[in-house]
């Protein structure tokens, strides 16, 4: 059987490895941190930093195709890997989504709506950006932010200095505050032959910057649902994308606004494990392996609840709850903000 190389050994790599194994593939995980969650279930793990060229070389030689579970892989490592094996999704998708500035520029070039934005490199730049965008606004690091880390809200101009301080010298982007009624995401997939399949949009609720629940179906009109799926497909087609992507959207009176895209399986797509015959992990493996995609259809209404830090203490009760599937990541210590697992509660069969 073929071997799939996965860059990153977190919970997403773990769940990708399980799906790949079910399809008869082996997974080789490349992860700098020791004892990664994916290590328990993958065929092989390389523990080495991204600047270890010998380890990268051996990894690439041992696999047929390379994919990834997180987007912040150093460029030099990707250059080396790409010369040896195909990387799916492709480099352009990675490069665009690694930087909030290039991501938003790309989305606007497609004619899609984003928050108003401006690059910010220093105090002067922040003042200029605030003059253009106004308050409230959010200052974010352009790169490496996740779970709301590297963000500072600016409700009033006198908070500008503190916000810039929070960026710790990193290049930043100022975003105007979007007045949304709620947040949804589309988990979309594109196959090697260019076919696109989307899962039904889910509705996302965040707590302290971290995804808390995703519920399907999302509160959307039929027109909004169509818009969401068409714009996701537009993004994947424009990138000649292969694999699963998460597209985060704000629902506003003026239509859907794209918040960000993630070139990988996505936390807000975990509900598919128990709401669909083929989940986002199998769908991603199918895509990167060049298999036909599943159609994304959903058989149940589902609520996904993330278990973060001490939430894991609710496990005995959740294990007794009806129609609730438990997914744990095999992480040891429950630190605050750490994603330990999630549960998918089936609410009812999907309406026909």
CB of 114: closest distance to ligand ATP in angstroms? 8
**Residues contacting residue 322 through CB under 8 Å, at least 6 positions apart:** none
Residues 163-182 interacting with ligand ATP (rule: CB under 6 A): 175, 177-178
Nearer to Mg ion, 206 or 299 (CB): 206
**Residue 33: C-alpha distances to residues 70, 203, 301 (Å):** 14, 32, 36
Distance CA 277, CA 257 (A): 30
Is 280 one of the binding residues for ligand ATP (CB under 6 A)? no
**Residues contacting residue 288 through CB under 8 Å, at least 6 positions apart:** 4, 65, 67, 88, 242, 243
Residues 104-143 interacting with ligand ATP (rule: CB under 6 A): 115, 138
CB of 1: closest distance to Mg ion in angstroms? 34
User: How many CA within 13 A on the CB side of residue 16?
Assistant: 33
Q: Which region, judged by CB under 6 A, interacts with ligand ATP, from 42-50, 65-73, 146-154, 227-235?
A: 146-154
Distance CA 269, CA 26 (A): 23
Strand, coil or helix: 248: strand
Strand, coil or helix: 182: strand
Is 260 one of the binding residues for ligand ATP (CB under 6 A)? yes
Q: Is 117 exposed, middle or buried (0-12, 13-18, 19+ CB in 10 A)?
A: buried
Residue of 31, 69, 99, 183 interacting with ligand ATP (CB under 6 A) = 183
Chain contacts with Mg ion (rule: CB under 5 A):
248, 260
Nearer to ligand ATP, 115 or 188 (CB): 115
Nearer to ligand ATP, 114 or 274 (CB): 114
Residues 301, 328 contacting (CB under 8 angstroms): no
CB of 275: closest distance to ligand ATP in angstroms? 20
Residues 212-231 interacting with ligand ATP (rule: CB under 6 A): none
Where along the sequence are the contacts to ligand ATP (CB under 6 A)? 115, 138, 145-149, 175, 177-178, 183, 206, 209, 248, 259-260
């Amino acid at each position: 059987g073929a071997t799939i190389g996965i860059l990153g050994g977190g919970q997403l790599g773990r769940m990708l490895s399980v799906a790949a194994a079910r399809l008869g593939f082996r997974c080789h995980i490349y992860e700098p941190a020791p004892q990664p969650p994916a290590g328990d279930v993958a065929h092989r793990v390389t523990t080495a930093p991204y600047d270890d060229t010998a380890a990268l070389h051996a990894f690439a030689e041992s696999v047929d195709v390379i994919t990834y579970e997180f987007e912040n892989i150093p460029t030099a490592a990707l250059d080396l890997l790409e010369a040896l094996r195909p990387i799916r999704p492709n480099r352009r998708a990675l490069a665009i989504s690694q930087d909030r500035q290039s991501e938003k520029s790309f989305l606007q070039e497609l004619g899609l709506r984003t928050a108003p934005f401006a690059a910010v490199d220093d105090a002067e730049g922040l003042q200029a950006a605030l003059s253009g965008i106004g308050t409230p606004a959010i200052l974010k690091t352009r790169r490496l932010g996740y779970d709301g880390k590297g963000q500072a809200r600016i409700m009033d101009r006198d908070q500008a200095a503190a916000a810039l301080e929070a960026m710790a010298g990193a290049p930043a982007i100022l975003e105007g505050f979007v007045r949304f009624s709620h947040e949804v995401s589309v988990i979309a997939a594109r196959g090697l032959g260019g076919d696109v399949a989307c899962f039904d949009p889910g509705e996302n609720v965040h707590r302290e910057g971290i995804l808390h629940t995703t519920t399907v179906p999302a509160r959307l009109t039929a027109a909004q649902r169509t818009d969401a799926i068409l714009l996701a497909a537009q993004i994947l087609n424009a990138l000649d994308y292969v694999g699963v992507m998460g597209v985060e959207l704000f629902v506003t009176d003026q239509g859907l606004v794209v918040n960000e895209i993630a070139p990988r399986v996505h936390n807000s797509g975990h509900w598919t494990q128990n709401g669909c015959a083929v989940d986002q992990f199998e769908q991603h493996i199918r895509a990167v392996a060049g298999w036909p995609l599943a159609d994304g259809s959903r058989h149940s209404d589902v609520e996904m609840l993330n278990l973060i830090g001490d939430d894991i203490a609710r496990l005995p009760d959740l294990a007794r709850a009806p129609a609730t599937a438990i997914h744990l990541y095999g992480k040891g210590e429950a630190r605050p903000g750490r994603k330990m697992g999630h549960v998918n509660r089936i609410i009812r069969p999907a309406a026909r």
